[in-house]
């Protein structure tokens, strides 16, 4: 396992962090997963108020005779944004109680996803008032935020200089947030990548087309190498459901060197295959088509189409597409079948894509049984 400084926190974190949203099948399983993670070199454990019994289970694990000291661990929990300072004060104390801790190494605003959330955070009498008190009295050491928001919102949140770290989405198959990675790095913030295996493309179970294109690496290992080779990134969240799920990903935990020529050639092969397969229907992800009068997230819809057609990542594309209109601010935007063919987007597309036609085709390809997130707030 390799370790990197988590920005201005000056904490040395393992390049993989244990995310604890999926180990919830039992308290025993959670404790065993934590023990396995630490045995494999992970020293950053991340939870959230919104993860069911995750904090409670982690609290039990922390009292179960771990082989390293409390000071060697970095514990992060996440709490939702709120305009109510008293509410945040109560939540901090409740999390500490569930975790059986007297301080948190890191506290993140969980889901700073909307401009309203950012307004709450910047208000002098809002949630940050309580967080600043907790920092002053030692209950919290460092403050950051996690986000599923737009690039523009993330950049604005980073620019407030209120935060020491950021948790965000960024993978080989989703590079929209590259500018946020760079700005966070410039401001010496710690950078955690959220669930790059799952949100990066369901890469534990890749389609054969993608596996063949990535050979001799697996798609999962290639994505991890793409991220770990970027020294601006501190750590990758690994949401293992049980101890066994830690083994395969951590096989690359020592490979943080720059991409090799062979790895670069694989990435070039992926790009070439996508261009050749999609031809003139390839969405370049410039986002010039937004805003849509019907609030369709056109670039994300067409990104999922790109992946489904070029790499046969249909299962992942369907999983993400079905979240539209079912996940609130965690996954904003309307389904593609809301398109009225108004044509507002057409003159703005530099690639002259027939966007209404592609939206209709993508909805037909990706629609299915609607699903909701594990939590809903």
At residue 248, the pLDDT reads 87
pLDDT digits (tens, 9 = 90+) for 207-235: 999 999 999 999 999 999 999 999 999 99
Q: Is 237 left (phi over 0), alpha (psi -120 to 50) or beta?
A: beta
Q: Please report which confidence band the pLDDT of residue 370 belongs to, taking 50, 70 and 90 as the band edges.
A: low
- Burial environment of residue 276 by CB neighbours within 10 A (0 to 12, 13 to 18, 19 or more): exposed
Write down the CATH number for the domain with range 3-258. Answer: 3.20.20.100
- Distance, in Å, from the CA atom of 141 to the CA atom of 137, rounded to the nearest integer, reads 9
CA-based nearest residue to 334, from 295, 285, 276: 295
- Distance, in Å, from the CA atom of 173 to the CA atom of 193, rounded to the nearest integer, reads 13
- Domain parsing of the chain, residue ranges: 3-258, 264-366
- Distance, in Å, from the CA atom of 217 to the CA atom of 368, rounded to the nearest integer, reads 31
Angle at 72 (CA atoms; ends 70, 76), nearest 5 degrees: 75
Average pLDDT of every residue of the chain:
96
Give the percent of the chain with pLDDT over 70.
98
Peptide bond into 216 cis (omega under 30): yes
Q: Give the global pTM.
A: 0.95
Q: Please report which confidence band the pLDDT of residue 376 belongs to, taking 50, 70 and 90 as the band edges.
A: very low
Query: Is it the case that residue 4 has pLDDT exceeding 80?
Result: yes
Residue 253 CA: distances (Å) to CA of 4, 59, 101, 237: 12, 26, 29, 12
236 CA to centre of own chain: 9
Query: Is it the case that residue 372 has pLDDT exceeding 80?
Result: no
pLDDT digits (tens, 9 = 90+) for 65-115: 999 999 999 999 999 999 999 999 999 999 999 999 999 999 999 999 999
The answer to whether the CB of 104 falls within 8 A of the CB of 95 is yes
Query: Is it the case that residue 377 has pLDDT exceeding 60?
Result: no
At residue 375, the pLDDT reads 45
At residue 67, the pLDDT reads 95
Residue 309 CA: distances (Å) to CA of 65, 165, 209, 281, 300: 49, 36, 10, 10, 14
In 208-305, DSSP assigns E strands to 235-238
69 CA to centre of own chain: 28
The answer to whether the CB of 54 falls within 8 A of the CB of 80 is no
pLDDT digits (tens, 9 = 90+) for 128-179: 999 999 999 999 999 999 999 999 999 999 999 999 999 999 999 999 999 9
Contacts of 7 (CB under 8 A, 6+ apart): 164, 165, 184, 187, 188, 189, 190, 191, 234
- Distance, in Å, from the CA atom of 164 to the CA atom of 8, rounded to the nearest integer, reads 6
Mean pLDDT of 349-361: 98
3 state DSSP class of 221: helix
- Distance, in Å, from the CA atom of 269 to the CA atom of 309, rounded to the nearest integer, reads 15
């Amino acid at each position: 396992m390799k370790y990197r400084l988590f920005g201005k926190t000056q904490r040395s974190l393992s390049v993989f962090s244990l995310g604890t949203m999926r180990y919830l099948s039992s308290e025993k399983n959670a404790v065993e997963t934590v023990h396995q993670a630490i045995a494999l070199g992970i020293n950053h454990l991340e939870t959230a108020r919104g993860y069911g019994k995750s904090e409670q289970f982690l609290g039990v694990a922390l009292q179960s005779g771990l082989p390293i000291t409390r000071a060697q661990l970095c514990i992060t929990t996440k709490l939702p944004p709120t305009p109510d300072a008293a509410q945040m004060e109560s939540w901090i104390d409740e999390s500490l109680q569930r975790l059986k801790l007297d301080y948190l190494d890191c506290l993140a605003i969980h889901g700073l996803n909307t401009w309203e959330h950012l307004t709450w955070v910047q208000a002098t009498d809002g949630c940050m008032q309580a967080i600043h008190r907790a920092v002053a009295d030692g209950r919290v050491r460092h403050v950051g935020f996690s986000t599923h928001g737009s690039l523009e919102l993330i950049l604005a949140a980073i620019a407030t200089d209120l935060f020491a770290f950021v948790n965000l989405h960024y993978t080989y198959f989703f590079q929209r947030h590259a500018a946020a990675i760079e700005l966070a790095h410039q401001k010496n913030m710690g950078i955690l990548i959220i669930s790059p295996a799952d949100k990066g493309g369901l890469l534990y179970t890749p389609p054969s087309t993608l596996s063949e294109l990535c050979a001799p690496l697996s798609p999962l290992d290639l994505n991890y190498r793409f991220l770990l080779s970027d020294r601006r990134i501190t750590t990758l969240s690994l949401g293992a459901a049980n101890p066994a799920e830690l083994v395969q990903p951590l096989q690359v935990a020592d490979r943080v060197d720059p991409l090799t020529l062979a790895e670069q050639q694989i990435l070039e092969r992926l790009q070439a295959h996508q261009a050749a397969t999609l031809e003139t229907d390839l969405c370049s992800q410039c986002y010039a088509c937004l805003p849509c009068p019907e609030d369709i997230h056109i670039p994300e819809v067409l990104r999922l189409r790109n992946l489904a057609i070029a790499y046969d990542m249909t299962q992942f594309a369907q999983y993400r597409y079905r979240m539209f209109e079912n996940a609130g601010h965690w996954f904003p935007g309307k389904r593609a079948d809301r398109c009225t063919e108004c044509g507002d987007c057409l003159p703005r597309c530099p690639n002259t894509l027939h966007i209404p036609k592609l939206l209709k085709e993508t909805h037909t390809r990706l629609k299915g049984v609607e699903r909701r997130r594990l939590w809903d707030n």
